[in-house]
Structure 1
Amino acid sequence: MRTALTDLTGVRHPVVQTGMGWVSGPRLVTATARAGALGILASATMAPDRLRSAVREVKSRTDAPFGVNLRADAADAPERVRIIVEEGVRVASFALAPSRELIAELKDAGVVVVPSVGARRHAEKVAAWGADAVIVQGGEGGGHTGEVATSVLLPQVVDAVDIPVVAAGGFHDGRGLVAALAYGAAGVAMGTRFLLTSDSTVPDAVKACYLAATVHDITRTTAVDGVPHRMLRTDLVSALEGAGRVRSLARAAGRASRFRRISGLSRRSMVRDGFALRHGKDLSWSQLLLAANTPMLLRAAMVEGRTDAGVMASGQVAALIEDLPSVADLVARIMTEAEETLEGLRRFGHRPPEPGPPGA
């Protein structure tokens, strides 16, 4: 299936595996690239030297295109951009709108720039600055997300920009891909669906929680880091929502310190990132400390398998997922379903109209 996304990135299928912290590592990205979709490494939880080694690990396993996701507001973003350029990564994905200068540096080096946005005005801004494409996530998506549904936000963005738009938030199968294409998108991006594969390194106990979730078990809360965050509702999430401010901040400070040791980031770098985050989201200092706490809560679940002590970011689509296929089987199934859906629409289009009720 050829679209503007496949032409731009060189992948075979218009499907993107998003960059999820602690989840989108070399193993998952390699499996995605081999399957013909666009895998994206999540670098925000990696020190720069670990990012370089992760990129080289993927390149040693496949020559298919892949991408790297990074925080545009990180103090060391320029260093990470240099790594992407030096290592010959095909796509740079951004969790926040990158600066005009970063976009220009990447484009001059032949890297495809694809920021992720949650509002039309942000898509218009990065398009004007030279972004090659944009991923637009509706409120159904997991992690930090807005409140506008994909079915409303996607056509807004498609109509507002003249670059390829990739739809995210609520997609997991071939029917969704066809729906996104009908809206004018060039493909779909999925996080939760790729997390729930046999190639994902997320512990089995955590995957079981996702598979057991209903639509009522997936919530959008500000209790974790002060900004809207979609995740599975657990006893921990309920406790955070009911905890007092002082107790929450004390725990957050401890987890932020642990994240610094694990990630290899310096205190100065974390402070600089904090200033950038506070400015970009207009957070209070207490909210900022809670935001610094988030990586460790995610790591507790996604790496350590501690469903009692971690948070599990999740799109609403988790309620529709019932299996753990390999990435290769998942991508093949999505493309087969998409073709079957399109063929069904074609057959329907050739049928004579059904007679209406008397008097119609």
Structure 2
Amino acid sequence: MQPTDALARFRDRLSLPLIAAPMFLVSGVELVVAACRNGVIGSFPTVNCRSPEQLDQWLTDIDDRLKEHSDASGKPAAPVCANLIVHRSNARLEQDLQVLLHHRPEMVITSVGSPAPVLKPLRDAGALVFADVASIRHAERAAAAGADGLVLLTAGAGGQTGWLNPFVFVRAVRAFFDGPLVLAGGIADGHALRAAEALGCDLAYMGTKFIATWESMADARYKEMLAASSADDILLTKAFTGLLTNMLRPSIEAAGLDPDDLPERGAIDIGKDIDIGARENRPKRWKDVWSAGHSVSGVTEVLSVDEMVARTAAEYRNAATRLRLS
């Protein structure tokens, strides 16, 4: 018996099997709307909103603008996907959950913990619940908890990341999970997106390239740094969060720190002002030290979401042609 296609409800609304990844302080209303209008699932962390009230306003604005788009174009937009931090440190978890239940999202991604506590209410509201995982053990636990889909954080993903090779990770999880898989890490173009499908994934994250779009909330200097950087400029470190995190070396240097001489584990708190001795130019909050994935090598300029998705779609078609000719 063939497994049910969990994505069937909105698969025909996607121009690409792609999610604009939820990115801290980067993903906002403009980026989500632009992605969804272009047939890409638009996601954002609920903690990007200052309060549950702002989260409610964001979701209302997004829904209204996408409805206008659908009415004008005659084509329904791709789904909106909220990213919910389920770790106990998120003091707003219950409040944000209630806002999501009110808006009845089609898809929610849980992060930093088991999806179990939020699965039933979100499912009752009609949402598919995906859990992001960074190891095979985490994937097994999320699957056992009943997650509808899994986001596999592999080596090369921006921000807090996994460490497993994507070829190994995807195939290992496919051995015990037949639901939707999302590959996160290293998706720089349509060729990589096609490769993710060949591995056995249904969707993929694209994050770093969406940071370098006009619609993202990222600082203009951040976008310019991405365009000027390559994968060699990515540093994997625990210094800022205590967890493995891919950061831009040039941003660490610009903040007055030495990328080659950082504390080993979570000693630099960029969630608040920090003291690094006599240096005047010290990092203050996440706005000063920036993350990116290995796919930064695919960022060469700042584009609109329209342009970036169109190029990715052309690459995706070209990759399919090459496969047919081989």
State the TM-score, normalized to the length of structure 1: 0.76
Distance change >3 Å, CA 201–CA 242, structure 1 → 2: same
1:277 maps to what in 2?
none
Partner of 1:69: 83
Q: Is the 8 A contact 1:213 1:319 kept in 2?
A: yes
How far, CA to CA, are the matches of 2:61 and 2:191 in structure 1? 33
Question: Structure 1, residues 152-200: CA drift from partner, whole Å, max 9, x if none?
Answer: 2122222231211011100021101110011010021111011111222
1:142 aligns with 2:155: no
Structure showing the higher helix proportion among its residues: 1
Aligned residue identity for 2:306: A
Q: Does 1:82 align with 2:98?
A: yes
1:56 to 36, 46, 60: 60
Please tell me whether the aligned partners of residues 270 and 285 of structure 2 are also in contact (alpha carbons under 8 angstroms): no
Matched-pair contact (CA < 8 Å) for 2:183–2:205? yes
Question: Identity of aligned pairs, percent?
Answer: 27
Report how many residues are paired.
295
Helix, strand or coil at the partner of 1:114:
strand
Counterpart selection for 1:17 from 16, 20, 36: 20
Equivalent in the alignment of 1:318: 296
Look up the match of 2:117: 101
Taking a change above 3 Å as real, the CA distance of residues 333 and 347 of structure 1, as seen in their structure-2 partners, is: same
**1:182-236 C-alpha deviation (Å, 9 max, x unpaired):** 1010021111011111222322221111111122211001111222110101313
Residue in 1 that maps onto 2:273: 255
Q: Distance in 2 between matches of 1:25 and 1:187?
A: 21
SS at match of 1:227: coil
CA–CA separation in structure 2 for the residues paired with 1:43 and 1:241: 33
Match of 2:170 in 1: 154
- Taking a change above 3 Å as real, the CA distance of residues 313 and 9 of structure 1, as seen in their structure-2 partners, is farther
Distance 1:14 1:343 in 2: 17
Report the secondary structure of 2:146's partner residue. coil
Matches within 5 A, 1:87-236: 87-233=103-249, 234-235=252-253, 236=255
Q: Look up the equivalent residue of 1:7 and give its one-letter code.
A: A
Cα pair distance change 1:40/1:150, threshold 3 Å = same
If you compute each CA radius of gyration, which structure gives the higher value, 1 or 2?
A: 1
Matched, 1:7 2:32: no
Aligned match for 1:34, one of 29, 33, 37? 37
Inter-partner Cα distance in structure 1 for 2:272 and 2:42: 33
Secondary structure, aligned partner of 2:83:
strand
Cα 1:253–1:198 shift into 2, 3 Å: closer
Listed as ranges, the gaps of 5+ residues in structure 2 are 68-76, 275-282
Q: Deviations over 1:107-128 (max 9, x none)?
A: 1111111111111221222222
Supply the distance in 2 between the matched residues of 1:85 and 1:79 (Cα, whole angstroms): 10
Letter in 2 for 1:60: D
Amino acid at match of 1:346: R
Greater shift in the superposed pair: 30-39 or 10-19: 10-19
Tell which has more relative contact order, 1 or 2 (C-alpha 8 A, sep 6+).
Answer: 1
Decide whether the 8 Å contact of 1:138 with 1:154 is kept in 2: no
* 3-state SS, counterpart of residue 170 of structure 1: coil
Alignment partner for residue 43 of structure 1, among 27, 46, 71? 46
Deviations 1:61-102 (A, max 9, x none): 103320111211123322211111101222111122334231
